[in-house]
Amino acid sequence: MLRIAIQTKGRLNEDSVGLLKDSGISFREDKRKFLLKSADFPIEALYLRDDDIPEAVSDGTADIGIVGYNEVCERDKDVDILMRLSFGKCRLSLAIPDSETCASLQYFNGKKIATSYPVILGKFLKENNIKAEIRTIAGSVEIAPAAGLSDVIFDIVSSGATLVSNGLKEVVKVLESEAVLICRKDISEKKRKLIDELRFRFESVIQARGAKYLLMNLPQQSVDEAVKILPALRSPTILPLAATGWCSMHSVVRESELWDKIGQLKQIGAEGIVVMDVEKIVL
Ligand code: PRT
Ligand code: ZN
């Protein structure tokens, strides 16, 4: 039986549970329990605060865990990072008051920097030979300059709205982060097999996210050009239509490219374009 540590509540909880569910693994909802078995797979979920997940995995309390890469770096525990999970994307950045200008990293010499990530910040300052004072605070780091606790901050940024509403601006991006699957060292062969199966399922779900299935009618003479527009996984499927000179083409595209591709396909005569969601992609 594998044990996976996931965040009890917070930004990563829903996506972690969602990824497992889309991979065919669900847990009975029971808010009073912190350890729940799945009926679908030999796995149990251990619900923890995100701060505690790297340690729980490194000391073997859990075999694997889903946590932000930022927490893995900050806790500095000996775990393997198995895969990136494409959610919880954010960055750890240095931000300064709007009124200030920062021409180079030297700006931070002698500054007081408030953060909840002293380890990552300390390493960054050391690597860049900057001597600054780190003020570790647990939360609401963005209010520290206005409250007189620090000159500048080092914090998580996602949309940037929190910085803007606190009169701050992002000047140096130090670490890109997203949720990752971590694993403890020295895992048994039996558990390794289960983890491989889980990774395979996660990859199929992640591949399918943001992918769209596209089908359309196309004049036969446009097929070569359409194949260039839609390279697909291997190559697009082309089926004949009852009407001569026409075919039906099927392919998978990234959602981010969808409208651009549709525009190009219309230009070469594509008609009746249908777009559908993709549930899983097994490569
Ligand atoms: O209770 P527990 O300890 O488990 O949770 P937590 O409160 O420590 O963490 P939580 O749930 O807030 O975040 C969990 C993880 O989500 C983080 O470790 C990151 O890996 C990831 N993540 C992604 C974020 C954000 N985006 C994010 N925007 N974590 C925090 N924020 C906060 C940030 O601290 C800042 O206050 O959102 C604000 C900035 O957001 P924008 O959009 O205004 O820039
Ligand atoms: Zn936390």
pLDDT in tens, 60-117: 999 999 999 999 999 999 999 999 999 999 999 999 999 999 999 999 999 999 999 9
Q: From the CA of 11, which ligand is nearest?
A: 1
Task: Pull the structure tokens for residue 106.
Answer: 């030297």
* Residue among 11, 47, 180 to mutate when testing ligand 1 (max atoms within 8 A of CB): 11
For helices 13-22 and 189-208, angle between their N-to-C axes, nearest 10 degrees: 100
148 alpha carbon, distance to own chain's centre: 34
Contact call for residues 247 and 239 (beta carbons, < 8 A) = yes
Q: Specify the pLDDT at position 283.
A: 79
Q: From the CA of 49, which ligand is nearest?
A: 1
The finding on whether 74 has its CB within 6 A of some atom of ligand 1 is no
Distance 122 CA to ligand 1 centre (A): 20
In this structure, how many other beta carbons lie within 10 angstroms of the beta carbon of residue 227? 15
pTM higher than the cut 0.85: yes
Contact call for residues 195 and 63 (beta carbons, < 8 A) = yes
Contact call for residues 180 and 77 (beta carbons, < 8 A) = no
Instruction: Say which DSSP state 27 is in.
Output: B
Q: Specify the pLDDT at position 232.
A: 72
Cα 112 from Cα 221, distance rounded (Å): 67
Q: Specify the pLDDT at position 69.
A: 98
Q: Specify the pLDDT at position 2.
A: 97
Contact call for residues 51 and 70 (beta carbons, < 8 A) = no
Q: Which residues contact 159 (CB under 8 A, 6 or more apart)?
A: none
Q: Specify the pLDDT at position 32.
A: 73
145 falls in which pLDDT band (50, 70, 90)?
very high
